[in-house]
Amino acid sequence: MSPSLLLHRLLQLLPVLLGVTVIVFGMMSLTPGDPAETMLANQNATPAQIATLRHDMGLDRSLPVRFASFLTHAVQGDFGQSLFHHRPVAAVIAERLPATVELSAAALLFSLLLAIPLGVIAAVHRGGLLDRLATVGSLFGVSLPGFWFGILLLLVFAVDFRLLPVSGAIDYASQPPTITGFLILDSLLALRLDSLGNALAHLLLPAITLGLPMAAILMRVTRASMLEVLRQDYITFAEAKGLSRARILGLHALKNALLPTITVAAIETGSLLGGNMVVETVFGWPGLGRLVVESIFARNYPLVQAAVLLYALTYVLVNFCADLLYTVLNPRVRM
Amino acid sequence: MTEPLLEITDLRVAFHARHGKVRAVDGVSLTVAPGECLGIVGESGSGKSVTFAAVMGLIRPPGRIEAGRIRFAGRDLVGLDAASYRQLRGRDIAMTLQDAQTSLNPALTVGTQIIEVLAAHGEGNARARAVEMMTMVGIPAAERRLGDYPHQFSGGMRQRMMVAIALSCRPKLLIADEPTTALDVTIQAQVLELIASIRAKLGMSVVLITHDLGVVADYCDRVAVMYAGQIVEAGRTADIIGSPRHPYTEGLLASVPDLHNLDRPIRPIEGQVPDLIDLPPGCRFLPRCPKARPDCAKPVPMRAVGEGRNVRCVLT
């Protein structure tokens, strides 16, 4: 893809983000409840005091004025003050973001590593025992609610067998020096193997819980597209050339079969972000998902707005990356 | 007579479907001599492609070789282990498929697709050999085109590319499955001329699978006509085109327009190819045959009628 086309594609993302901003802002304004009242709920505040706070927070201004003000600041990275932390929203989010990124990346990695080989094997041995097991397994994977499965894993591996930690992202004693904020990366940079092991042990169960439903879907998609590809003439021709089975499946078939998998993986990454909120709550993960859940309950408007906008941005960028990957795998869409 | 390069004896291939056993190839015997071009003619479903998929060892479940022998260059191929078969395919026996558009992998460069055959069969200097082969089939600026993808080639060039890939290891036998069906008439002739010229250059044998008797007449030394899983007539091309002995061959010839005698009406063969499940024991062409007699309902064996010529018909 040429640089100018790349820029063009990136510019196309702007209206999408603007649309999301409008929707998020509108929805937060429409939901019942008043942050000023919530903040002063247990302090016996008089209506006059509440009104003063509303004025200070700018909540008494009209909706369009508030939106314009939000937008001007947002493009500069200023999302206002978090109503409860009394610090800038951006700073609060930046503190929580690395843990969520690490968890999501681990879940994505886990599901891809599980789903693609399983999907290929199931397609190659269609109707065989492995295919049936994988199909039933994927049905479970899609159907199990994350909070239930997470708790189950916790009970078995953390409580009964005491193999893995129950909650959090790292033990206090193992905390590596903060360099990037990403625990695994910091452990590696500081050459702290104990931190790395501890962080990975904490990461394992939440990543599996988060990644399993996605793995189930990706497995089905890979299996279906692999079956489709294996029927193609170019696979027969590759066989007639006397190529090894590994090369036929791993290169000729998989390079074509992965296209739908990547598309679905990109879309599913969106639900990964949503799933984060549940899984982070179950596992006490110090990430953005839990922060957002807490902030919604507390009507912490500025933080929720910024977080949802960030989710939208991530989603759009992930799909953009998937499009780029598409052009690598499929030369016909290369321009 | 020299030892045949390929000898198929009483080959039977069946596909197990839910409602019964489809006998796609039912007792086919034929030989291909070194350097010879054999035409295999028949309608879709006559078993011509399945016969040679069996030669390539590419019959996959639910299909199965039930009986018969395939000897190639002195080796028995039925029951050959997978690794030995892999070495044979692409190196000693090569195959081109009907449609180059769908037979070349859209996600890989043509360079990858030709070099990998040479590499898989341990040929040194793969890149140079690939360029040489592409030049031989008439692809201009071959070196530069190695990095191109199939969709960047025209239909005729894709077909040439497929031929180049198939012939890159200089096989002893090329099986060309319907090489012209998907092409324009002008490009058809180019591809056939190309195969003929390389055949002469490399001294390889060619099996040309087609439903086009005109192609057979121009390019094949001998021809075998297949119907419903059996060979019904085989012999030298000139004999068979000149004086067909089986009513089906006659029907096929009558259904081809004759450019030298446009007044002759085109007569299609009435009826349909029979269902290959639960075939009656007699002649398979019986329901469509204009010359049918009562004894056609009994099994009809292949009969030798003159030099190198065989017909499966009670009339001969």
pLDDT tens string B63-116: 999 999 999 998 999 989 999 999 999 999 999 998 888 999 999 999 999 999
Confidence of residue A335 (pLDDT cuts 50, 70, 90): very low
Chain A, 256-285: which have a CB under 8 Å from a chain B CB?
256
CB A253 within 8 A of CB A237: no
> Is residue B116 in some structural domain?
no
Dist CA A118 CA A138 (whole Å): 10
* Section A296-302 average pLDDT: 82
Q: Which residue has the higher pLDDT, A233 or A6?
A: A233
Write out chain B residues lying below 8 Å of A262, CB-based.
none
Query: In the numeric block, which tokens belong to residue B108?
Result: 């890989």
Q: Reduce the DSSP state of residue A88 to 3 states and report it.
A: strand
Interface-testing mutation among A124, A226, A237, A330, with chain B (most B C-beta atoms within 10 A): A237
The 10 Å Cβ neighbour count of residue A255 is 17
> Is residue B49 in some structural domain?
yes
* Section A178-192 average pLDDT: 88
Confidence of residue A251 (pLDDT cuts 50, 70, 90): very high
DSSP code, position A268: H
User: Could you list the residue range(s) of the whole structural domain that residue B280 is in?
Assistant: 6-92+171-311
Rounded to the nearest angstrom, the minimum Cα separation between A248 and chain B is 11
Give B11-52 pLDDT, tens digit per residue. Answer: 999 998 888 888 999 999 999 999 999 999 988 888 999 999
- Does B313 have pLDDT greater than 50? yes
Q: Reduce the DSSP state of residue A237 to 3 states and report it.
A: helix
- The answer to whether A231 contacts chain B (CB < 8 Å) is no
CB B229 within 8 A of CB B238: no
Q: Compute CA distances A117 → A9, A40, A223, whole Å.
A: 32, 55, 9
Give B192-248 pLDDT, tens digit per residue. Answer: 888 999 899 889 999 999 988 888 988 999 999 999 999 999 999 999 998 899 999
User: Measuring CA to CA, which residue among A140, A152, A262 is closest to residue A213?
Assistant: A140
- Does B182 have pLDDT greater than 70? no
Domain containing B85 — which CATH number?
3.40.50.300
> Is residue B159 in some structural domain?
no
> Is residue B119 in some structural domain?
no
Give the long-range contacts of residues A311-318, CB within 8 A, separation 24 or more. Answer: A311/A270, A311/A273, A312/A16, A312/A17, A312/A20, A312/A24, A313/A17, A314/A269, A314/A273, A315/A269, A315/A270, A315/A273, A316/A13, A316/A16, A316/A17, A317/A13, A318/A266, A318/A269, A318/A270
Write out chain A residues lying below 8 Å of B87, CB-based.
242
Dist CA B129 CA B135 (whole Å): 10
Burial degree of B310 (CB within 10 A; 0-12, 13-18, 19+): buried
Rounded to the nearest angstrom, the minimum Cα separation between B153 and chain A is 12
pLDDT, residue B120, reads 93
Asked if the peptide bond before residue B61 counts as cis, ω within 30 degrees of 0, the response is no
pLDDT, residue A92, reads 92
Q: Which residue has the higher pLDDT, A15 or A34?
A: A15
* Section A254-261 average pLDDT: 92
pLDDT, residue A4, reads 77
Q: Reduce the DSSP state of residue A81 to 3 states and report it.
A: strand
pLDDT, residue A62, reads 84
Rounded to the nearest angstrom, the minimum Cα separation between A232 and chain B is 7
CB A92 within 8 A of CB A304: no
Write out chain A residues lying below 8 Å of B103, CB-based.
233-234, 236-237
**Strand B93-96 with B310-311, pairing:** unpaired
Query: In the numeric block, which tokens belong to residue A91?
Result: 């700073």
Residues 6+ apart with CB under 8 A from B233: B224, B225, B240, B244, B245, B246, B248, B249, B310, B311, B312, B313
Number of domains in chain B: 1
Q: Which residue has the higher pLDDT, A118 or A53?
A: A118
Query: In the numeric block, which tokens belong to residue A131?
Result: 């295919």
Query: In the numeric block, which tokens belong to residue A305?
Result: 């707005």
- Does A5 have pLDDT greater than 80? no
Torsion of CA B222, B227, B229, B234, to 10 degrees: -20
pLDDT mean across residues, chain B: 89
Give B238-296 pLDDT, tens digit per residue. Answer: 999 988 999 999 888 888 776 677 777 777 787 777 788 878 788 989 888 888 888 88
pLDDT, residue A37, reads 75
Of the candidates B56, B107, B117, the beta carbon closest to that of A255 is on: B107
- Interface predicted TM-score (ipTM) of this complex, two decimals: 0.90
User: Measuring CA to CA, which residue among B168, B171, B170, B142 is closest to residue B157?
Assistant: B142
Closest residue in chain B to residue A251, using alpha carbons only: B108
> Is residue B40 in some structural domain?
yes
Confidence of residue B316 (pLDDT cuts 50, 70, 90): confident
- Does A66 have pLDDT greater than 90? no
The 10 Å Cβ neighbour count of residue B70 is 22
Domain boundaries, given as residue ranges, for chain A: 17-74, 96-333
Write out chain A residues lying below 8 Å of B94, CB-based.
240-241
* Section A152-164 average pLDDT: 90
Q: Which residue has the higher pLDDT, B179 or A219?
A: A219
Sign of CA dihedral A171, A175, A181, A185: negative
- The answer to whether A72 contacts chain B (CB < 8 Å) is no
> Is residue B34 in some structural domain?
yes
CB B227 within 8 A of CB B312: no
- The answer to whether A9 contacts chain B (CB < 8 Å) is no
**Range with lowest mean pLDDT among A24-33, A172-181, B50-59:** A24-33
Query: In the numeric block, which tokens belong to residue A170?
Result: 């790292």
- The answer to whether A255 contacts chain B (CB < 8 Å) is yes
**Range with lowest mean pLDDT among A291-295, A323-327, B128-132, B255-259:** B255-259
Dist CA B107 CA A327 (whole Å): 10
User: Measuring CA to CA, which residue among B93, B204, B209, B100 is closest to residue B161?
Assistant: B100
CB contact under 8 A, A234 and B117: no
Q: Which CATH code is given to the segment(s) A96-333?
A: 1.10.3720.10
In the sheet that holds B222-227, the strands lie side by side as: B93-96, B173-177, B205-210, B37-41, B222-227, B230-236, B310-311, B303-304
- Does A308 have pLDDT greater than 80? yes
Confidence of residue B1 (pLDDT cuts 50, 70, 90): low
Beta pairing partners, B205: B173
Closest residue in chain A to residue B86, using alpha carbons only: A242
pLDDT, residue A334, reads 58
- The answer to whether A331 contacts chain B (CB < 8 Å) is yes
The 10 Å Cβ neighbour count of residue A44 is 7
CB B108 within 8 A of CB B135: no
Confidence of residue A77 (pLDDT cuts 50, 70, 90): confident
